[in-house]
């Protein structure tokens, strides 16, 4: 019998992914937007950080663990907030963007060679991907390679945003940094998806939805 990987049914898959993104991004962004409207930039940063840490604490109490995406958000937001609030200078505010990507690069790279690559953990948590019950070396190598790929993407973003920060005026920097981030993230998703598909074909694996 051919081995397979399993995803939840479409509606549950969408619900799982949306909830994961809401926890890690939606809640802090919403809290930050409300605080910015009422009290300004510094309050916005603190509100986003507090929302993230409260969500992580509630998750830990309720389930005994904190999802990787939420952990990453907490680490990045903590560093960003500390940098911006330290002096309030504009260049420190802009520096948060390349530094945040450097943190992401390190987080991905430090797990890439281990038994639990970050991409595999994110796939299990964000879209509830279930791998074959028996350990599959080919899949494990893919997740290690994909984790290195994303570490490289975040490294490129760190370097690119660092150069833009030093060479472009603030308004143009914010516009170009957004465009560069979107371009590299979309490229990374496309390469990861095509690579994953080729790995499934190479090892005769199937991807299917869970039984109703």
C-beta separation of 209 from 7 below 8 A:
yes
Comparing 19-33, 105-119, 176-190, the range with the smallest average pLDDT is: 19-33
Q: Can you read off the two tokens belonging to residue 120?
A: 């595999």
What confidence score (pLDDT) does residue 212 get?
62
**137 pLDDT above the threshold of 90:** no
* Confidence class for position 1, pLDDT limits 50, 70, 90: very low
Rounded to an integer, what distance in angstroms lies between the CA atom of residue 27 and that of residue 88? 24
C-beta separation of 70 from 120 below 8 A:
no
Rounded to an integer, what distance in angstroms lies between the CA atom of residue 188 and that of residue 122? 15
Rounded to an integer, what distance in angstroms lies between the CA atom of residue 78 and that of residue 97? 13
Report the pLDDT averaged over residues 76-88: 79
C-beta separation of 31 from 48 below 8 A:
yes
């Amino acid at each position: 019998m051919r081995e397979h990987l399993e995803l939840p049914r479409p509606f549950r898959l969408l619900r799982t992914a949306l909830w994961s993104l809401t926890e890690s991004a939606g809640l802090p962004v919403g809290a930050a937007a409300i605080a910015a409207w009422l009290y300004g930039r510094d309050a916005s940063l603190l509100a986003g950080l507090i929302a993230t840490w409260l969500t992580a604490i509630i998750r830990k109490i309720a389930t005994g663990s904190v999802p990787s995406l939420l952990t990453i958000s907490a680490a990045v937001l903590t560093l960003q907030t500390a940098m911006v609030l330290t002096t309030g200078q504009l260049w420190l505010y802009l520096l948060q963007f390349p530094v945040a990507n450097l943190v992401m690069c390190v987080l991905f790279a430090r797990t890439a060679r281990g038994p639990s690559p970050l991409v595999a953990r994110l796939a299990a948590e964000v879209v509830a991907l279930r791998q074959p019950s028996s350990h599959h070396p080919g899949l494990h190598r893919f997740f290690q390679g994909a984790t290195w790929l994303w570490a490289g993407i975040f490294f490129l973003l760190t370097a690119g945003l660092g150069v833009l920060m030093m060479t472009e005026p603030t308004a143009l920097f914010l516009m170009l940094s957004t465009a560069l981030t979107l371009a590299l993230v979309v490229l990374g998703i496309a390469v990861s998806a095509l690579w994953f598909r080729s790995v499934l074909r190479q090892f005769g694996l199937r991807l299917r939805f869970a039984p109703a």
